[in-house]
Amino acid sequence: MELTVDQRWELVEKISKETVELGKHELSLKEALADVTVRPATGIPFAIAVIYGFWMFFREFAGTLFTDGFFVKIFDGYWLPWLQGIFPGKDTWLYFIFVGDPLANNCFEAFGVLTSGIFLAIGVVLPAIVAFYLIFAILEDVGYMPRLAVLVDTLFHRIGLHGFAIVPTILSLGCNVPGVAATRALETRKQRFLAITLLGVFIPCGAQIGIMGKMIPGLIGWVFLALAVGYFSVGWIINRITPGESPEILMDVPPYQLPTARNIWNKLRIRTLNFLTVAVPFVLLGCVVVAVLYITGAMNAIASGLSPVVSGVFGLPQDTAAAMIAGFLRKDLAVGTIGMLAAGGVTITVYQVFTAVVLLSVYFPCLATFALMLKELNWKEILGALATLVVVVFLYGVILHVIGLSGIGSSVWVPLK
């Protein structure tokens, strides 16, 4: 017997009345939290609170507890005096490269491979990397990252990306190398080009953030503001001039769950080992190269050649050219070089330090990141990324120099001990 459409619906209704029991659904805590964290009115304040908590843990765990409370005492109280006592030939170039200044009383100012190099990598950067990746792994395992992606999707569409781009962006705050690698999950070449270019130019890595947190804690918020403005402004512009598609976001949003220790440990271990094997060698290499440049006199020659740009266009002391050179090897080393110059007697104002750190942040990506960019992008995209970088550096330099002419931050900067 064939049923009509109306008879079929009547049969469905009859069966449903006999089999379906209606009741009042009580919203669980997980469902309520999931709803709160994706609605803009409540999700944005929640995201701000999460980021603030993230930063406070990062600062206290990495800076106060481990760097100040443990590593500074070990390196300055025991490691440096021991090296200065046993390493032969205090007047030789070999001593200068590996130990640094024989009169230095702390590893930060010694500027040797075995002093400043190891102290920056292990004493300052490693705690920052561990703190960052620990919290990031917890947020991933809990299920918050997909909700953050949904929350920022509209904003990222303004620059040709979608909400998932927040994952490589935040990942790059730990290290730009895995951040660039994570852009492979984006669907189109245009999106990958946009994301890689913006990450390489505007996102400081955890190593650099760790150094900035120790060196300029009062200015770091302004540095992030300057970088965030550039990230979205430049992203909006290159999205308009770059051909290609920017599809909508399509991703699974799992329910909230308790994090598992095994997952968190595996993520933390893999990412920390990646930092130790990829980034630390470049920190040590950077110390060697900069030391050799100083010994051979090449650094003075480079500083003289770049003087019209560094001093005339950017309004910085000529000696900061050394930091620009070091920035290609490791940006954290370059930021640390600014502090070492000031500790060595170079007069630099508070605003000039701010300008130098911002320019180093948007300056050429570190060698490890650039090597991965060569792998991920074709030659036209590489040229486009480099052109963006050059324009951004000069625009930032000129704008910040003009603002600095007003006399803001004109007091002499004194490095924190």
pLDDT digits (tens, 9 = 90+) for 343-393: 667 788 889 889 989 998 888 787 777 878 888 888 899 999 999 998 999
What are 71's two structure tokens? Answer: 């590593």
Which pLDDT score, from 0 to 100, does residue 52 have? Answer: 83
Mean pLDDT across the stretch 236-257? 83
The mean pLDDT value of the chain amounts to: 83
**Mean pLDDT score, 406-410:** 82
**Phi, psi at residue 111, to the nearest 5°?**
65, 40
For 310, the token pair is 């560094």
Asked if pLDDT for residue 411 goes beyond 90, the answer is: no
| Cβ atoms of 333 and 205 closer than 8 Å | no
pLDDT score for 191: 92
Structure confidence at residue 113 as a pLDDT band (50, 70, 90): confident
Q: How much is the pLDDT for 398?
A: 92
pLDDT band at 265 (very low <50, low <70, confident <90, very high): very high
Quickly state the pLDDT bin for 328 (edges 50, 70, 90): low
- Per-residue model confidence (pLDDT) at position 180: 85
Question: What region does 103 belong to: left with phi over 0, alpha with psi -120 to 50, or beta?
Answer: alpha
pLDDT of residue 212: 84
Q: What share of the chain has pLDDT > 70, as a percent?
A: 95
Residue 415 Ramachandran class (φ > 0 left, ψ -120 to 50 alpha, else beta)? beta
Confidence of residue 175 (pLDDT cuts 50, 70, 90): confident
Higher pLDDT, 225 or 285: 225
Average pLDDT over residues 176-187: 83
Q: Which residue has the higher pLDDT, 275 or 83?
A: 83
Confidence at residue 25, expressed as pLDDT on a 0 to 100 scale: 62
Residue 377 burial class via C-beta count within 10 angstroms: exposed 0-12, middle 13-18, buried 19 and up: buried
**pLDDT higher than 80, residue 319:** no
> Do 186 and 195 contact (CB within 8 A), yes or no?
yes
- Model confidence, pTM: 0.77
Is pLDDT of 329 > 70?
Answer: no
Q: Do residues 168 and 183 make contact, with C-beta atoms less than 8 angstroms apart?
A: yes
Confidence tier at 26 by pLDDT (50, 70, 90): low
Tokens standing for 320? Answer: 């900061």
Q: How far is CA 141 from CA 27, 148, 206, 275, in A?
A: 22, 13, 21, 21
Q: How many CB atoms lie within 10 A of CB 74?
A: 14
When pLDDT is cut at 50, 70 and 90, the band that residue 121 belongs to is confident
Q: What percent of the chain has pLDDT over 90?
A: 16
Residue 417 has pLDDT above 60, yes or no: no
Report residue 185's pLDDT band, with 50, 70 and 90 as the boundaries: confident
Q: Is 317 exposed, middle or buried (0-12, 13-18, 19+ CB in 10 A)?
A: buried
With 90 as the cut, is the pLDDT of residue 6 above it? no
Reported as a pLDDT band with limits 50, 70 and 90, residue 237 is: very high
Give the span between the Cα atoms of 210 and 202, in whole angstroms. 16
* Res 236 pLDDT > 90: yes
Output the pLDDT for position 165.
87
Cα distance between residue 320 and residue 340, in whole Å = 10
| Lowest-pLDDT choice from 18-32, 88-102, 199-213, 214-228 | 18-32
Task: Report whether pLDDT(226) > 90.
Answer: yes
Bigger pLDDT: 220 vs 250: 220
